[in-house]
Amino acid sequence: MCPLRTLARVVKRSEGQTPRVVVIDPLGEVFDRVRGLALPLTLFRVLDPAPLMDSATLDFAIVAANARPDWDTLVAVATRWPTLVLTSAYERSDALAALQRGLVGYLDLALPPAVLARSVRGVLLGDEPGFTRQVIGTWLREARSQETVPTSTLARLTKRQREIVALIAEGHTDKEIASRLGIAMATAQKHVTGLLRRLDVPNRAAAVAAVMPRNVHGLRGGVADVHPLGTESEENLQRAS
């Protein structure tokens, strides 16, 4: 499966029901951090995910990583649930490997609490991939030579919709899209809604996934370094800390 399509998966749950999230954390430190973010989640902490692999009652997995990742375990968990890693040993190369293996995010626990809470919330809602723009940009550059999006996908979009999806891929909000295109924010929001309907996708991340990666140059003349949807760059996160 294309990793960006994996990023676009939405946590399935009934209306009004909070996501049921298992936190795989032998030490308990990540569980305490996630609980301290005060997000609307039902949290369960386990030491070993194996007994839960057949469970149909969980929506999402958060895995604590205090050292280099155990990829066999992470891939096994990620094939069962959308999986986010929170790590105290962040390396960009590991984040890229997580993206390539289909995880939905790989975040540094050293991020400021407000930034971490916003990023985790975005991943859980399916609106944002939990990777920095450098990681996604690297993956896209590698993937352009390997995958081709059907031309029929882009053919379904108007010129304006191609501009919109390229700006979404760069991480722009509706307000920023409106400013870049010289239109009202309400008009930009209508364009985004129309884009999602045209592509038959549930959210902005899924729209980007539907047209990436090789057709990036067919959108707006090229995107040199793609931002994750609403996730700050590593440089900005370091400044914020």
Q: What is the pLDDT of residues 14-57, one digit of tens each?
A: 445 778 899 999 999 899 988 888 888 889 999 988 887 776 67
Helices 185-199 and 204-211: angle between axes, nearest 10 degrees:
60
- pLDDT > 60? residue 88: yes
Structure confidence by residue, pLDDT tens digits, 122-132: 887 766 778 88
Q: Which of 72, 103, 131 is the last residue of a domain?
A: 131
- Do 115 and 26 reside in the same domain of the chain? yes
Burial of 103 (0-12, 13-18, 19+ CB in 10 A): buried
Domain that residue 156 falls in: 141-220
The mean pLDDT value for 72-94 works out to 91
The CATH number of whichever domain residue 103 belongs to comes to: 3.40.50.2300
Same domain, residue pair 163 and 111:
no
Nearest 10 degrees: Cα torsion 12, 88, 140, 182: 70
149 or 184, greater pLDDT: 184
- Whether residue 90 is found in the same domain as residue 37: yes
Our count of domains for the chain comes to 2
Of 105, 131, 157, the position where a domain reaches its end is 131
The pTM of this model reads 0.61
Per the DSSP assignment, residues forming a β-bridge with 63 are: 24, 85
